[in-house]
Amino acid sequence: ILRNRNSVLEASNAELKACNAELEARNAELERLHHEFQVAEPVNSQKEAEEGQKKKGQKRKAEYPYNTRKASKAIAAMLSSPRGSTSFQDESLTVQQRAEEEQAKPAPLSTGGTSEPYQIKEGSRTRSTSKDSYETMTVERLRSILKRKGLKAIGKKAELIARLRGQVKQ
């Protein structure tokens, strides 16, 4: 009797395991759909805010201050890509350095070309706009530029600017 009961329980256990596996698969699919819905919802509300009526020349502000369309595209790309390929190109770079490198790349123009930085000919007496912009930069930003160029990044703001200007002239 006990052996018979044990075999019945084992069969029941196997059925429950199969049902559990099926439920886990459904749960994973529902979580994925829920995540996509959460990303799509802010995008839709941002579109509605952009398409909303303007009152007395004022623009409506979107509910989210960040670009949700780019975020939803990035998440969709992450979901469609294999799990192992989420590593960065260079993990030693900080987020700020990656942003600076991205800004340093020439941007494509609507006319077809790219926006290349101006090259000042030697002997020209005009001042470079980058020299003027050093004054408006923070000390932290100046130090990061000096470190990136391999120069000494210690000192007062005027000293840092002088080092950068010396590097530009060389």
User: How confident is the model over 132-152, as a mean pLDDT?
Assistant: 86
pLDDT above 50: residue 12: yes
Instruction: Give me the torsion for CA of 35, 40, 41, 45, rounded to 10°.
Output: 160
Residue boundaries of the structural domains of the chain = 2-51+62-80, 123-170
User: Please, are residues 90 and 100 in contact by the beta-carbon 8 Å criterion?
Assistant: no
For the entire predicted model, the pTM comes to: 0.25
- If one compares 19 and 62, the residue with the highest pLDDT of the two is 19
Determine the pLDDT at residue 151.
86
User: How confident is the model over 74-96, as a mean pLDDT?
Assistant: 56
Determine the pLDDT at residue 42.
55
Instruction: For residue 64, give the amino acid letter.
Output: Y
Instruction: Give the 3-state secondary structure of the chain.
Output: CHHHHHHHHHHHHHHHHHHHHHHHHHHHHHHHHHHHHHHHHHHHHHHHHHHCCCECCECCCCCCCCCHHHHHHHHHHHHHCCHHHCCCCCCCCCHHHHHHHHHHCCCECCCCCECCCCCCCCCCCCCCHHHHHHCCCCHHHHHHHHHHHCCCCCCCHHHHHHHHHHHHHC
